Amino acid sequence: MPLEAPLPPVAERVAALNDRYRHHGATAVLERAFSDPEVGRVALVSSFGAESVVLLHLVSVLAPATPVLFIDTEMLFPETLAYQRQIAESLPLTGIRVIRADPAARAVADPDGTLHKANPDACCALRKTEPLERALEPFDAWITGRKRFQGSTRATIDFFEAETTSRIKVNPLAHWGREDLEDYIVNNRLPRHPLVAKGYPSIGCAPCTTPVAAGEDPRSGRWRGSEKTECGIHFINGKIVRGPIGAET
């Protein structure tokens, strides 16, 4: 039996995928992500945050056995943990996996739970980036809920991105707006995260998330008062991003 030809480099596959599916909608992009051999083995990473239920519902309809990775930083709002359990019970998702930091590493790096005050990047690396990277090792691609309207660091994202030289990131909702999300939630009678009604359009860890006033950037409540805008689990051009994106040098 002849050996299968190796896949082209990730950057080439991403360019081809974006060209091939440029005019498709979110559902079609998800369907292709699950079936296109150039995408490979796929997982969904979900924060079970303010808008997460839309993508979780779409995946539950199209491929309910998809691995769903939920990072429990052990600093989340109690409402988020309760919401995660509610969604897990109400949607037919059979592959939910709860990911946490290594207890030994956490005991050394953050024994008293105050690392987020002194070094929020290090806290995110310990509690989010490193656990997720371990969980994603078996996968060739992962699905995110990132959208262009969420802020300047996400304003140009495509359906498919080269996260690293070995893994693709899929953003099926990249072109959706707030109205699209609202319509989907209402039309499908999906439960909302309880903190949304209290002014939290973007929800992360409790110590690092504040309510957002009308007219503010939806992510302005994340790490308010600092230049930090991303937790570090997202890459651009293969580089980790935890703050504002400067000009290419």
Task: Give the residue numbers marked as catalytic.
Answer: 231
Q: Enumerate long-range contacts of 91-94, CB under 8 Å, 24 or more apart.
A: 91/56, 91/57, 91/60, 91/64, 92/60, 92/64, 93/56, 93/59, 93/60, 93/64, 93/66, 93/68, 94/64, 94/65
Whether residue 18 contacts residue 158, with contact meaning beta carbons closer than 8 Å, is answered with yes
Rounded to a whole number of angstroms, the distance between the first and last alpha carbons of the chain is 47
Q: Which helix (H) or strand (E) holds 168?
A: strand 168-170
Report, in angstroms and rounded to the nearest whole number, the Rg of the chain calculated over CA atoms: 18
CA distance 19 to 160: 10
The DSSP string of 97-129 is EEE---HHHHHHH-TTS-HHHH-HHHHHIIIII
CA proximity to 71, closest of 95, 47, 89: 47
User: Would you say 39 and 32 are in contact if contact means Cβ atoms under 8 Å apart?
Assistant: yes
